[in-house]
Structure 1
Amino acid sequence: MGNWQPHRHHYTTQFSVIFWIAALLLGLLLLAPIDAIGQLFSSITILIAISLCSREANHTQKHQHFFRTLALVLALALSARYLLWRGIYTLKYSDILSFIAVWLLFAAELYAGITSILGAIVNAFPLSRPLLTLEGIDKDTLPTVDVMIPSYNEDEDILEVTIRAAKMLDYPKDKLFIHLLDDGGTDQKINAENPTAAKAAKQRRTDLQALCKRLQITYHTREKNEFAKAKQCK
């Protein structure tokens, strides 16, 4: 736990600064007129500030989190201004149909605004985990790992890329076992009544068996196509 304290203190300090800046900006926004001219002026100002924060975040590694979070706060402030403007000045209707249409659209915009707020909270405080490596670990104590690659109708080229990516996992090679679970070359498909489909399934099984042999992994198929994913393979 001791290794996390400086990290937490760092985020707490940045959060305090961002909180007071956000409070000041929101106060100024609430004091400014929310008519069309005021909305246009505040929107342009906030967009310029967001652009400057994004540029600083890309060029300043030390304060990247601060400027990134500040840009998110400014974006939320802009959204709040827009929703206030929509709610005060634009919800006008002349009959029951226009009333329903106006409020349905505004409800959708409110939903989008709430979703943006939740997304900004998640992005402002990402979970930071320490880097895990195998250095200093007795590899004899590591468990074996089986990587399952389910397949139904993917092309052989796509499967080869996936298998090669799995073989590049940073793990002892003698403890890493990769399995291709082929649901497109099952006994049920090979013995199908449609001769064209049966021939294609048989050819797929032959090709994928050759691919697995070439890449030194294990090929599996099964008797019937049951359940959502390949299981009970042989």
Structure 2
Amino acid sequence: MGMISRFKDIMSANINALLDKCENPAKMIDEYMRQVTEQLAEVKSETAGVMAEEKRAKRLVEENDEQIAKYDNLARKALKAGNEDDAKAFLTKKQSYVDNGIDLQKAYSIAHDNATKMREMHDKLTKDIQSLEQRRKNIKAKVAVAKTQEKINKVTGSMDSASDSMKAFERMEEKADRMLDEANSMAELNSDEEDPIEDLEAKYAGKDASVDEELEKLKKEMGL
């Protein structure tokens, strides 16, 4: 029965060691299940040995009971034949098997109890491992979801960076518009500083000749 205790210790040591160095839960649970499955195979072998011992002890009890029945039957036949000494000899032999049967029955009872406990423990371990197998699937599914979320977070972070870049470009565009407005305003101010007389001179410089011509033309028409 020490095998069960060792198996529990191994399971506990294995998972504690894996948790200490755990970086990837999916890989960790795979490794843990591999180790537990190997230990279960050892428990199966141990259980089979205990069950075999139970069967052997039971067989010895049954064989001893057959000998008791055999010599009891011979003693009865000897008595019927009137041979009390032979009957007594058979009963003495029978008694040796009866005495031996007490020890054999005790050994069988112990073997039977051990086999029962081992089978119960084996069945429980098998059920626990089946439960762990389902939990492993759940853990791996959660890890997959977590990795997907990490990718989404990275993409979201990239979009945030792009948004920050757009805001920076908008600020630069606003600055460029402000510079252009300032330049245009400066140009208007410079234009206001030009001499208005020069503009008038240019305006009427070309019109003097045309007025004189019109005046002469008008005089001719009027005969003056």
Question: Same fold per TM (> 0.5)?
Answer: no
- When normalised by structure 2's length, the TM-score is 0.31
- When normalised by structure 1's length, the TM-score is 0.29
More strand by share: 1
More helix by share: 2
Q: Which structure would you say has the larger Rg?
A: 2
